[in-house]
A and B are shown apart, each in its own frame.
Chain A
Amino acid sequence: MLITDGLATFGRYIQLMAKTFSMPERWRMFGKQYVKEMAQLGVDSIGIVLLISFFIGAVICIQIKLNIQSPWMPNFTTGYTTREIMLLEFSSSIMCLILSGKVGSNIASEIGTMRVTQQIDALEIMGVNSASFLILPKIAGMITMIPFLVVFSIAAGFVGAYATSLMGVITVDDLTVGLLHDFNQWYVWMSIIKSLFFAFIISSVSSFYGYTVSGGSFDVGRASTDAVVRSSMLILFADIFLTALLS
């Protein structure tokens, strides 16, 4: 039963994506929506990304210094480990998990409300491909903005780590040496590539749950929760495969 339900949901998701990825009817309108979504999903998320990344960067630095660094280890260990954690996992995977909560619920509740208030029916009756009109700009906007968010997150994490030097946790020199030690540029690209997949998961899965909602406000709330839970799970699964594939 669970398997057949899951397959049926997956089938409906594929059908919706097929409807979504069609040529926009008016590029002018698509462009307008695309810019709006980049602002709403990307620019509006910069604040939370910077805030969380700054504090996580600082906390990672403190934890590594207190729990791992020892006289037997080189001084750059803390900076090096902080960089690797930020680059490899936090700024792509964990940050996207956080964004699935903020952006995913936003997308699902916005489209879900449009569904229950017949705004999507109104689009369909006008002859507009509602899936393409509503979902495609969200997916495109999210995929466009995510690399910037990843880079901002990495930078904010490093600033957070440097901020701990003000507390006397680590010296600026040790941290700088650690952050630069054996730097592999590919890790930045890996982080960005992973985040592109996660951005697609967040925007498409949340749109699916919003678009297929039926009922009233209670159902919109449930769809919003489902969107966050399912996209988070998919990000975690995808993270395993992508990490194995790209490492």
Chain B
Amino acid sequence: MIELRHIYKSFEDKDVLRDINAVFDKGKTNLIIGQSGSGKTVLMKNIVGLLTPERGEILYDGRDFVRMSKRERVLIRREMGMIFQSAALFDSMSVLENVMFPLDMFSDMNATDRRRRAEFCLSRVNLQGAEGKFPGEISGGMQKRVAIARAIALNPKYLFCDEPNSGLDPKTSLVIDELIHDITQEYDMTTIINTHDMNSVMGIGENIIFICDGRKEWQGSKDEIMSSTNERLNSFIFASDLAKKIKEANTD
């Protein structure tokens, strides 16, 4: 479980995050949603430690990530997996080497076991046969799947996904969403997904936090979104004509 308590962050004189409180449950797909510029990426960067909040606490199963020593932080980081918007695969390494990288760095397994584990992770994301390819030779969807395989290689407790469907077609996005959802349940991880993809929200949004102008505006599940009366949330979620019609049909 990850808990945020009174998180504040500003850049120069601009307040980007203001008093964010949230709980992200274990074994669930937790979504952070919001418009571009609402502060959701900054929030994600604070949670994973790429930025440090000015005030507040970030608790990883009760351990305060903000105030802990550098050494303790490194240990927690080894319990994290992250999937970046751009996949962020190491382009000088093959697909297999990318997945083996965290194992090479942090596991005490021998070379055969490391390879076997990496191959298992690749088969888990249905990427058998792509081991020798380089990131530049595979599609965006495949790159995201390699990133998922790399993220789960060390059996992480926490999985972070920054706009995992960015740049993907709707069908591939669905595959990625289902994969993240299944892996979250399979490994009983605390998963946080930063997204503005409404298909993801309605598909795998078990716990959704809506950020607006740096504040937490709403929290609930995908089922509760339909009945929400929050105007800002509704204008964001049901912005398109299609979404409006779905909402009307659902209300009727």
Q: Which residues of A come within 8 Å of B, CB atoms?
A: 25-26, 28-29, 114, 117-119, 121-122, 124-128
* Chain B residues with CB below 8 A from A126, complex form: 77-78, 80, 101-102, 105-106
B105 touching A25 by the CB < 8 A rule? yes
B90 and A119: CB pair below 8 A?
yes
Q: Does B31 contact A (CB under 8 A)?
A: no
Q: Which residues in A have their C-beta under 8 angstroms from that of B48?
A: 125
Query: Besides A114-B90, A121-B84, A125-B49, 19 other CB < 8 A contacts?
Result: A25-B105, A25-B106, A26-B104, A29-B104, A117-B88, A118-B84, A118-B85, A119-B90, A119-B91, A121-B88, A122-B88, A122-B90, A125-B82, A126-B77, A126-B78, A126-B80, A126-B102, A127-B73, A128-B105
Residue B249 interfacial (CB < 8 Å): no
Whether A127 and B104, one on each chain, are in contact in the complex, defined by CB atoms closer than 8 angstroms, is no
Instruction: Flag whether B74 is at the interface (Cβ < 8 A).
Output: yes
Question: How far apart sit A124 and B48, CA to CA, in the bound complex (Å)?
Answer: 10
Collect the chain B residues with CB atoms within 8 Å of residue A119's CB.
88-91
Q: Which B positions have Cβ atoms within 8 angstroms of A?
A: 48-50, 73-75, 77-78, 80, 82, 84-86, 88-91, 101-102, 104-106, 160
Q: Which of B50, B73, B75, B104 contacts A121 (CB 8 A)?
A: B50
B88 near A127 with CB under 8 A, answer no
Most buried by A among B86, B88, B101, B104: B88
* B84 and A28 form a contact (CB under 8 A): no
B74 nearest in chain A by CB position? A127
A125, B77: Cβ atoms under 8 Å? yes
By a CB distance below 8 angstroms, the chain A residues around B102 are 126
Q: Do B80 and A125 touch across chains, with their CB atoms under 8 A apart?
A: yes
- Inter-chain contact B50/A124, CB cutoff 8 Å: yes
Neighbouring B residues of A121 by C-beta, 8 Å:
50, 84, 88
Which of these, B91, B101, B104, contacts A28 with CB under 8 Å? B104
* 8 closest cross-chain pairs (CB), A and B: A127-B77, A118-B88, A122-B88, A127-B74, A127-B78, A125-B82, A118-B84, A119-B88
- A118 with B86: CB separation less than 8 A: yes
Question: Which residue on B lies nearest to A118, using beta carbons?
Answer: B88
Q: How far is the CA of A114 from the CA of B84 in the complex (A)?
A: 13
Chain B residue, CB-CB nearest to A110: B92
B144 to chain A, nearest CB (A): 13
State whether B50 touches A125 (Cβ < 8 A): yes
Residues of chain B within 8 A (CB-CB) of A128 are 105
Instruction: Evaluate contact between A122 and B104: CB separation under 8 angstroms.
Output: no
Bound form: Cα–Cα A157–B89 in Å:
43
**Distance in angstroms between the alpha carbons of A138 and B75 in the assembled complex:** 26
Q: Which of B78, B82, B102, B105 has the most CB of A within 10 A?
A: B105
Contacts of B78 on A, CB cut-off 8 Å? 126-127
